[in-house]
Amino acid sequence: MCNENIYELIVKDELAGNRIDSALVLAFQNNSRSFFQKLLETEAIEVNGQVNNSKKYKVKKGDIIRVTLPEPKPLNVAPENIPIDIVYEDDDVLVVNKPKGMVVHPANGNESGTLVNAILYRCGESLSSINGVIRPGIVHRIDKDTSGLLMIAKNDRAHNCLAEQLADHSITRAYRAIVYNNFTEDEGTVDKPIGRDPKDRLKQAVTDLNSKRAVTHYKVLERFGNFTLIEARLETGRTHQIRVHMAYMKHPLLGDLVYGPKKKMLGAESQMLHAKVLGFKHPATGEYMEFDSPLPEEFEAVLAKLRKD
């Protein structure tokens, strides 16, 4: 359901049995558990038409959960005149091709020069406010050193609709990645939960401890002996998901010094990962739209070296 400032969720099998705050985090990945706990305390969440303020309530299949979001806080992130590659724009949505090295939204140590600063300069106050003052318009994210396509919501109705598509796993998100080692199969699926690494709080890992289900589908596109070019399609969208899943499969990304070998090779300055294809139903018309982004120069240069060798 796509009403402004309201989320409505019908609980399916994969969410049934979770505490309500945990279920909402799994369904709507852009907000934290503490965020939904505060909404419970303020009686902003209904289950089957009745106000629910119990954090211990375990959702059941078929439950209709209605979340009323608080009024947005005034924005205090500064617009900056930073050039951005606009792939598509209308009154509801903006699709941008983010360069490698750009942080999506401000955080400690990255208060300026982010994609949010750039889109604020371009769009002014015409952005969704659901994710608060730091992430206006941001429906999903990609890592600083991952390039490629992102969708930006220009109003709250559009944001709710796009977030619901993410929760339903109906958005197309296809990446290109160069990984270490050869595959014995041509395609496959990694269905392993991801959470914070118990041994290193700065990393993510495949773990059963405080984790969320994560599903990545992959397909071999080109083989180079010690390296492979793959397409990776996200069913879920966990932090560092492709990087973590490929490392778990013994195929870490070339250039990924966090989850792979601690050395630079073939001129790759960071992980060879590009968000190439993005598809979704337009939040106003319902029409399916799909966009394709060319590989960056660095990525193409590494591929050229592999093909030559």
pLDDT in tens, 183-228: 999 999 999 999 988 887 778 999 998 899 999 999 999 999 999 9
Please list the residue range(s) of the chain that carry CATH number 3.10.290.10.
Answer: 6-68
State the pLDDT at residue 1: 44
State the pLDDT at residue 36: 85
The Cα 279–Cα 171 span in angstroms is 6
The Cα 213–Cα 61 span in angstroms is 18
The Cα 75–Cα 125 span in angstroms is 9
Take residue 239 and report the two structure tokens written for it: 């932090």
Torsion of CA 68, 74, 78, 83, to 10 degrees: 40
pLDDT grade, residue 72 (50/70/90)? low
Percent of the chain with pLDDT strictly greater than 90: 63
Q: Which residues are catalytic?
A: 143
Q: Specify the CATH class of 72-167 in words.
A: alpha beta
Higher pLDDT residue, 99 or 199? Answer: 99
Q: Specify the CATH class of 173-275+299-308 in words.
A: alpha beta
Section 226-244 average pLDDT: 96
State the pLDDT at residue 3: 47
Section 269-286 average pLDDT: 96
Q: Specify the CATH class of 6-68 in words.
A: alpha beta
Higher pLDDT residue, 202 or 233? Answer: 233
Please list the residue range(s) of the chain that carry CATH number 3.30.2350.10.
Answer: 72-167, 173-275+299-308
Whether the CB-CB separation of 107 and 97 falls below 8 Å is answered with no
State the pLDDT at residue 74: 53
